[in-house]
Structure 1
Amino acid sequence: MIRSQIKKDLDPQEMLRVIFDYAAKIANERVLENVLMLMADMGREMIVSDRCTVWLLDTSKNELWSKVAHGLDEIRIPKSAGLVGYAVTHDKAVFIDDAYTNEEYKNYLLNGALHTDQQTGYRTKALMVIPFRNSQGEIMGAYQAINKLTECQQFSDKDMEYLTLASSYAGKSLESALLTNEIEATQKEIIFRMGEIGESRSKETGNHVKRVAEYSYILARGLGMSKEESDLLKIASPMHDIGKVAIPDSVLNKPGKLTDEEFKIMQNHTVIGYNLLKNSNRHILKTAAIVAYEHHEKWNGRGYPRGIKGEDIHIYGRITAIADVFDALGSERVYKKAWELDRILQLLTEERGEHFDPHLIDVFFEQLPAILQAREHYADSTLEDSADVQ
């Protein structure tokens, strides 16, 4: 173990401050992975440990998983692996003064902490693992604390009491976060499927909405939007053509050029989509309403349905417009063959400041490698293409 600066245990006033500070942060956090990180940070500060991890049990895979740092992928281990696996499968809190001299849990330590030490050079000494439960009393994970940073370098009964308190709070908070996560995942799935329905009526593949979503996210991030807002646009953008559900097949799938009257009918899909979504109180659907309404507006004011221009067009509409046109031109449709990439890029350059926001076109070319990677990743399969042709 690389010794950090020696610290002191928290006094009662400091303990209350830590609990209240983290309780407020956790209550305002909606992202499950961030809740895990906050819980781990709270536990670490409460008992003055070097490391603290909150593990969640994934019963569908018989695994335990967690986040070790922001921005890194989750880590997963078998349900029975290491000391955490022992604590969860045996429903038992574990308290160890020195991992290298402990005989009772030797096999679990060799399979867990000591094995990790060999790989990283870290020195594990004191360890605590405490399972926690949901409101039905079922074990849903465990707190794991490693290495006490006070002079004695050992956890106390009081530390066990504090971490047990944190574990009890973690179980209830994480249960709520998991429920919120499940609800939001369901909402996203419904929105995506609705977007696919709109596209399937014009014989588009489901991958079109996936690509538009990815391109929209990449452009939003390249523009400097927060990850949260970029994610919101990514979720909402598949709904851009939902209004097509009400356009007659004779117009939607006409292989030749539309008449003026038919084009007016087609244009109406933006208004239909907007009216379907605009009255929702859900942030995602309100964003989708904007995208559906404005993704055919043009920077020069010659788009539809309202003919607004420049920055009067919502940024969500301006981003989705580029994402949609880029993918539509590169895809085969009933009325045209797919364009070559160079031809598409030439058109985007020519329409900079005309059809498209000029700054966003600059961002598009800056992000082109990422966009092309997403395009390749979500390319239509031969089977899908054949189905579209039929």
Structure 2
Amino acid sequence: MSEPSQTRDTAPDAQLERTPEELLRIIFDYTAKISGERSLKNVLLLMADMGREMILADRCTVWLIDRANQELFTTIAHGVNEIRIPLGSGFAGHSMATGESLLIDDAYADPRHNAESDLRTGYRTQAVITVPFLGNDGTMIGAYQAINKLTPQAVFTQRDLEQLKLAAAYAGKSLESVMLHEEIESTQREIIYTMGQIGESRSKETGNHVKRVAEYSAILALGLGLSAEEAELLRVVSPMHDIGKVAVPDAVLLKPGKLTPEEFDQMKLHTEVGYHLLKSSSRELLQTAAIVAHQHHEKWNGTGYPQGLKEDEIHLYGRITAVADVFDALGSERIYKEAWDLDRILALFREERGRHFDPRVVDAFMEQLPVLLDIRERFRDDLAAT
């Protein structure tokens, strides 16, 4: 439903200007919150809220540059969903192109105004402030934009502009830090997934095996009541569970028949190798991957390897990945066996509940089985291509 335009000097929500004490409280509150955030979306939302509260704007938008698509975009614009406009267009585009801040009383009297967003939403832009913000190296990152003043005068002042510049100067640096953090984590995720595929490819598994184990692990984590953040962490790191297989000789790894005791001892070493490959990193993703690589063959009753851990001595992530990995292994055709049918797999999990597997994880597995089967179908192996 479109939001009707209204004359701001008679708006029922018109307010008085902020006092210096109120401004200080807003700045201290929001800068503390922003400095502790590591989520880009949350930082952008806090920035928008801070700008809106500081200068009593009806809406505040944080624009960022998408250089790959030559666009400006915002996912944080009060009252609307994502907006994308061509790079250089509108007040935000002008500010970022020139480095100038803008203080506009009547948007529709200015030829730089891009009215497409108003046409889409039914909202009427009147007064506007736009302030570009830079990163530490002077690179343009984006722009703060405040729309429609909520005081009786209904226009922004030079004081408002200076206050928004202050907010942009601080928040721009924090935003750059969070963007860099997310870029590093994204790169780590790509590396972890690729390394997981390399580990599986040596044993002639398809890339879909690591995809399925990743998705199964996340669903089981959620089913056990873990947070969305923990489930996502496990989804990212679980593909590394068998990375240590890179050190297992082909004669053992690819043997079609039953392994001898000596060969099985060689195979078991992949848990130790994987752990030692990953354990030295200070990054949370790789530390967690090290735990999963090390413990996904431990058993609830203490008869697993390499450490013979039992029950809660085994990290929950290792217990979850164990169920996800075995479920996928049993249901997949491998060089040494045919795929099991579902009834046989479920019978094994019931039998091994409290022996091989954590009973709680097996219960979550049974509860989430329809979702897991849907994942298995979506990421089914293309046997003709293998």
TM-score, normalised on structure 1? 0.87
Q: Retained in 1: the 8 A contact 2:213–2:321?
A: yes
Size of the alignment, in residue pairs?
Answer: 377
Distance verdict in 2 for CA 1:31–1:264, change over 3 Å:
same
Question: In 2, Cα distance between the equivalents of 1:377 and 1:36?
Answer: 34
Distance verdict in 2 for CA 1:375–1:42, change over 3 Å:
farther
Partner of 1:370: 371
Structure 1 unaligned regions, length at least 5 = none
Letter in 2 for 1:367: Q
Mapping for residues 112-123 of structure 1, pairs under 5 Å: 112=117, 114-118=118-122, 122-123=123-124
Tell me whether 180-189 or 312-321 shows the greater mean CA deviation: 180-189
3-state DSSP of counterpart to 1:207: helix
Partner of 2:293: 292
Distance verdict in 2 for CA 1:369–1:165, change over 3 Å:
farther
Residue 60 (str. 1) matches residue 68 (str. 2):
yes
Partner of 1:103: 109
Shift of 1:170: 2.9
Q: What is the Cα-based RMSD across aligned positions, in Å?
A: 2.6
Partner of 1:241: 242
Q: Retained in 2: the 8 A contact 1:241–1:270?
A: yes
Letter in 2 for 1:85: G
Mapping for residues 321-340 of structure 1, pairs under 5 Å: 321-340=322-341
Partner of 1:359: 360
Partner of 2:22: 14
Question: In 2, Cα distance between the equivalents of 1:367 and 1:66?
Answer: 36
Partner of 2:212: 211
Mapping for residues 1-390 of structure 1, pairs under 5 Å: 1=5, 5-68=13-76, 75-89=83-97, 91-99=99-107, 102-105=108-111, 108-112=113-117, 114-118=118-122, 122-380=123-381, 382=382, 385-386=383-384, 388=386
Question: In 1, Cα distance between the equivalents of 2:51 and 2:309?
Answer: 53
Distance verdict in 2 for CA 1:188–1:6, change over 3 Å:
same
Distance verdict in 2 for CA 1:365–1:51, change over 3 Å:
farther
Q: Retained in 1: the 8 A contact 2:101–2:130?
A: yes
Question: In 2, Cα distance between the equivalents of 1:324 and 1:331?
Answer: 11
Shift of 1:84: 3.0
Q: Percent identity?
A: 59
Shift of 1:304: 1.9
Shift of 1:80: 4.4
Question: In 2, Cα distance between the equivalents of 1:364 and 1:76?
Answer: 41
3-state DSSP of counterpart to 1:284: helix
Shift of 1:200: 1.2
Question: In 2, Cα distance between the equivalents of 1:86 and 1:52?
Answer: 17
Tell me whether 250-259 or 323-332 shows the greater mean CA deviation: 323-332
Letter in 2 for 1:39: M
Letter in 2 for 1:110: A
Shift of 1:81: 4.9
Shift of 1:322: 1.2
Shift of 1:315: 0.3
TM-score, normalised on structure 2? 0.88
Question: In 2, Cα distance between the equivalents of 1:160 and 1:255?
Answer: 73
Q: Retained in 1: the 8 A contact 2:322–2:357?
A: yes
Question: In 1, Cα distance between the equivalents of 2:263 and 2:19?
Answer: 75
Residues 217-264 of structure 1 deviation map (CA, whole Å, 9 limit, x = unaligned): 222222222233222222221111111111111111111121222222
Tell me whether 3-12 or 156-165 shows the greater mean CA deviation: 3-12
Q: Retained in 2: the 8 A contact 1:81–1:111?
A: no
Shift of 1:54: 0.9
